[in-house]
Amino acid sequence: MNTVAAKPGAATVAPSVSALARQARRRRRIAILMIQIALAIGALVFWEWAAGPRNTPGILIDEFYISRPTLVWDALRRWTTEGVLWISIYYTFETTVLGFIIGTAMGLVIGFILGVNPFLASIFQPFINALYSIPRLALVPLFMLWFGIGIGSKLALVVSVVFFLVFFATFTGVKDVDQELLNKLRLMRANWWSVHLKVTLPAATTFIISGLSISLPYALVAQVTAEMLSSNRGMGYLLIRSSSQFYTPGVFAAITVLMVMGVALTWSIQLLENWLLRWKPKAH
Amino acid sequence: MASAGVPQLEYKSIRHQFVDGERDFVAVDGIELTVRQGEFLCIIGPSGCGKSTLLNLAAGLIHPTEGTVLYRGAQVRGLNTDVGYVTQRDTLLPWRTAARNVSLPLEVQGVPEAERKERVERVLELVGLHKRGNRYPSQLSGGMLKRTALAQILVYEPTTLLMDEPFGALDAQLRMSLQRELLEIWGRKSQTVLFVTHDLEEAILMGDRVVVFGANPGRIIHVEEVALERPRDLVALRADPRFTSTWERLWSLLAPQITEKE
């Protein structure tokens, strides 16, 4: 084993402490990943094994209620050949992201304006709080009346959900900015715009990012809900159609797709966060 | 310019009070002080005696309850953007690297990028940080943070430097090397420096004059002309009898102020 160390001159080369620690962390990560994969596969296998047609011997649960992984897979394949799957994903994804972007833009702008202007903020705060406490789903009938049952009412619902969360995050972040920093910039002869561009907005980024990562999953929820209430397109529509036809594999297939979409959206916002906050010291 | 006769900064019968909870709190009272052009003026006194108030008044961040502050003969009304202020707290932008923090004042003043880069590099070299320019503040040691903060102010060459205990939290060795660097830089440019410290040794070694502050309320109890020639050898001077006698005399003024407080 110690052939390397036995060689003269090579004995001084020992792996550094940090390299050893890195190796240990890597091993741990791989172990965790393996266990996770095993758990997921195990759960799927158990599901497949336990569920089956009613009154079949050895079956624990009627597949009418919980379907089976292979049936879900079939449903997905069927939707793919019918050409309905990708279109639905695209529609839901596009509207969610578009609504998210509009809501974020509005939340950023208004949050910033009220954040730097305490007088305006005190005027508008009670109104915004009141609007925020309306259950957003209660607005769906109005949105349909105003924007029709097409993409308009869906966008409106998503925007109404995202706006407030981003608004509060931005508002808090902007108000929280260190006055000493602002004064320092002013002493350097920075004008109003560069003070806020160089200090206020970057300083508020931590808050804003958390607002974004909280509101993105809600944007998807709002979009799917709107589709379930009134639509002939999107994943929410596929879900509600399958359910009304008592087609359980379809319901599970739609849920699975939505889960993957949710994970993908969360993941993308995480990437954005890592990039925007790359200056933060890494916490172990 | 005939400006040679005009003092850089004048405090005329200044009284300043804050509202501290329910009560008014007098930070400084009866301040009469003239800061000459190109002078290195040190201000020393017990903590909480209003030394920083003097700097804030010069920067125009606050305005006196009574009296006037004149900067080059004109009353300070808004912010005084002729000064560069190195505050006690670290106020670097954590999302910018050291080099980009230093370039910040040049950016907001619209200096073209090529010139910006060159000046930032020169100043970083001056404070011995040219190899650390691409690090974020969270990756810098306390001493490097202070150097960066110093470089950020030096880079745009303000005519007056306000420094509030800039080397306060540093260990003795680092402190001495930064003191030496600052004196060297100051010797080359003809900036006026107001340097607040709680270290008597530092005040005498660095300053042309030392202003001794008393507490409750903050007031000037003595102004000392330091007759040591320049350039100064900060190590050798510590043993110089002129230094030690000055130190002893000022300490006898300062000590009662400090015990009074505690």
CATH code (residue B250):
3.40.50.300
Distance from CA of B133 to the nearest CA of A (A): 14
A69-276 in CATH: which number? 1.10.3720.10
Residue B33 half-sphere exposure toward CB, CA atoms < 13 A = 31
Contact status of B59 with chain A (Cβ, < 8 Å): yes
**Chain A, window 180-239: residues with a beta carbon less than 8 angstroms from a chain B beta carbon:** 180-181, 183-191, 194-195, 198-199, 202-203, 205
d(CA B6, CA A55): 104
Domain final position from B158, B183, B210: B158
**A180, A188, A194: which to substitute to probe chain B, counting the most B Cβ within 10 Å?**
A188
Residue B97 half-sphere exposure toward CB, CA atoms < 13 A = 12
A118-155 per-residue burial string, b: 16 or more CB within 10 A, e: under 16? eeebeeeeeebeeeeeeebeebbeebbeeeeeebebbb
d(CA A130, CA A139): 14
Average pLDDT over residues B221-245: 92
Interchain pair B109, A183: CB under 8 A: no
Contact status of B138 with chain A (Cβ, < 8 Å): yes
Question: What secondary structure letter does DSSP report for A199?
Answer: I
Domain final position from B158, B178, B196: B158
**B57, B95, B136, B155: which to substitute to probe chain A, counting the most A Cβ within 10 Å?**
B95
Residue B2 pLDDT greater than 80, yes or no: no
Interchain pair B91, A181: CB under 8 A: yes
> How many folded domains does chain B comprise?
2
Are B242 and B166 part of one and the same domain? yes
Are B153 and B178 part of one and the same domain? no
Are B23 and B153 part of one and the same domain? no
Chain A residues lying within 8 Å of B105, measured CB to CB: 188-189
Give the closest residue to A158 by CA, choosing from A87, A92, A208, A255: A92
Average pLDDT over residues B141-167: 91
Are B116 and B176 part of one and the same domain? no
Are B232 and B252 part of one and the same domain? yes
Closest chain B CA to residue A190: B108
d(CA B145, CA B89): 10
Chain B residues lying within 8 Å of A203, measured CB to CB: 93, 95
- Helices marked H in B60-167 — which ranges? 98-108, 113-126, 142-154
Residue B21 pLDDT greater than 80, yes or no: no
Interchain pair B84, A181: CB under 8 A: no
Are B47 and B99 part of one and the same domain? no
pLDDT of residue B135: 93
Answer yes or no: are the C-beta atoms of A174 and A204 closer than 8 Å. Answer: yes
Closest chain B CA to residue A193: B108
Q: In DSSP terms, which residues pair with B43 in a beta bridge?
A: B196, B211
Are B141 and B198 part of one and the same domain? no
Interchain pair A188, B61: CB under 8 A: no
d(CA B261, CA B216): 8
Tens of pLDDT, residue by residue over B85-120, are: 998 888 899 999 999 999 999 999 999 999 999 999
Tens of pLDDT, residue by residue over B53-70, are: 999 999 999 999 999 999
- Backbone φ/ψ region at A58: left (φ over 0), alpha (ψ -120 to 50), beta: left
| Domain interval for residue B154 | 91-158
pLDDT of residue A80: 95
* pLDDT-based confidence at residue B20 (cuts at 50, 70, 90): confident
Domain final position from B158, B179, B195: B158
Peptide bond just before A118 cis, omega within 30 deg: no
* Partner-chain residue, chosen from B85, B94, B108, that has the shortest CB–CB distance to A198: B108
Question: What secondary structure letter does DSSP report for B85?
Answer: E
Amino acid at B204: I
Chain B residues lying within 8 Å of A280, measured CB to CB: 94, 138
Residue tagged 């910040």 (tokens): B104
d(CA A134, CA A154): 17
Q: How far apart are the first and last CA of chain A?
A: 34
What stretch of H or E contains A19? helix A17-50
What stretch of H or E contains B28? strand B23-35
Chain A residues lying within 8 Å of B84, measured CB to CB: 187-188
Tens of pLDDT, residue by residue over A129-161, are: 999 999 999 999 999 999 998 899 999 999 999
Residue tagged 């995202």 (tokens): A162
d(CA A225, CA A223): 5
Cβ-Cβ pairs closer than 8 A, A with B, add up to 62
Contact status of B107 with chain A (Cβ, < 8 Å): yes
Are B47 and B124 part of one and the same domain? no
pLDDT of residue B118: 95
Reading the block at residue A12, the tokens are 């001084």
State how far the alpha carbon of B30 is from the alpha carbons of A230, B50, B209, B251, in Å.
Answer: 76, 12, 19, 22
pLDDT of residue A13: 63
Give the closest residue to A234 by CA, choosing from A217, A252, A254, A260: A254
Are B11 and B60 part of one and the same domain? yes
DSSP reduced 3-state for B164: strand
Interchain pair B81, A189: CB under 8 A: yes
Give the closest residue to B136 by CA, choosing from B111, B100, B167: B100
Q: What are phi and psi of B224, to 5 degrees?
A: -110, 130
Residues in chain A where the model's pLDDT stays below 70: 1-14, 283-284
Distance from CA of B103 to the nearest CA of A (A): 11
pLDDT of residue B261: 47
DSSP reduced 3-state for A231: coil
Are B154 and B172 part of one and the same domain? no
Tens of pLDDT, residue by residue over A88-110, are: 999 999 999 999 999 999 999 99
Are B128 and B169 part of one and the same domain? no
- Laid out side by side, the sheet with B23-35 consists of B23-35, B9-20, B66-71, B74-75
User: Degrees (nearest 5) of the Cα angle A24, A25, A27?
Assistant: 65
Mean pLDDT of chain B: 90
Residue B111 half-sphere exposure toward CB, CA atoms < 13 A = 19
Are B180 and B235 part of one and the same domain? yes
Helix/strand/coil (H/E/C) assignment for every residue in B207-246? CCEEEEEECCCEEEEEEEECCCCCCCCHHHHCCCHHHHHH
Closest chain A CA to residue B134: A279
